[in-house]
Amino acid sequence: MVVCLYDGCCEFEPNQHNHVYCNDHKCKRKEENRKKRLESPLKYDDEIFQLQENRKRALILRKDARNEWIKANKTFASFDIETTDLKADGGQILCASIKPLNGAVETYKSEIYRPEGGDDKKVVATIRDRLRDFDYIITWYGTGFDMPFLKTRLLITKQEPLGEIYHVDLYYTSRFHYLFNSNRMQSVEEALFDGKTHKTRLSRVLWAQAQSFDYKVRIKALDYIADHCEMDVVSLEEIFNLIGEAKDLSSTPLRRF
């Protein structure tokens, strides 16, 4: 059921995707006549005011209905990566965590975790294939880092790109729809959950240990980094459940990575 877009006068079952005006009250004809009028109405009274307000309310209700349908019928997953460098041509993916909405965390580690070392060629393909299983991918500043980093690593390792997905970047939801003191994920999480956060600290010493030639030292640091990545996607989902309602999911652009 959808609400009539003209004035919200009633609800009806649409016959096709662009059926937005009800037939019972001939609202499509009313809208056409309204567009044809070149002059402003000579009077403004309570009836006209209420008509305009009903149309605004109908638009909001339609957006809410679309969002609820998308959440119920499409698949979502939180996504985060940890890397050896901020640039993809000078670094590699250490690990990635993917958390299906209301599901368990999945973590994928590169061959760098092996005693003899290695690269991220296999893990970037695994990450790509798993992300393809979802309709919407949720990140925090993934527009500026996670997604282009993965895209670049796939290009450098001569593999197929991820392809087209709907990408929900909660950093921009926080920045443009709310007014937190800081738009860092940890700051937003602490504000929403009474100072509590799942995030752990990554120090420079830890990153140095992650590149140690001593395998015991290296794997201890790498495991800590993987745990940190897992906590990030847990935080992402919890934040999405609270501030995601401000995001119009139906207007999320389809992006190619």
Nearest-5° angle of CA 9, CA 10, CA 14? Answer: 125
**Contacts of residue 131, Cβ cutoff 8 Å, sequence gap at least 6:** 77, 79, 98, 137, 162, 165
**The pLDDT value given to residue 40:** 53
Alpha carbon dihedral 195, 199, 203, 205, in 10-degree steps, equals 130
Cβ–Cβ under 8 Å, residues 97 and 105: yes
Q: How many residues does the chain have?
A: 257
Q: Is the pLDDT of residue 147 over 80?
A: yes
> Looking at 64-68, 102-106, 229-233, 239-243, which range is the least confident one?
64-68
Ordered domains of the chain (ranges, CATH): 2-72 (no CATH), 76-256 (3.30.420.10)
* Mean pLDDT along residues 152-162: 95
Residues forming a β-bridge with 106: 98
DSSP annotation string for 41-85 = PS---HHHHHHHHHHHHHHHHHHHHHHHHHHHHS-EEEEEEEESS
**The pLDDT value given to residue 152:** 96
Q: Is the pLDDT of residue 17 over 80?
A: no
Q: Is the pLDDT of residue 83 over 90?
A: yes
Percent over 90 (pLDDT), the chain = 56
pTM of whole model > 0.85? no
Cβ–Cβ under 8 Å, residues 118 and 109: no
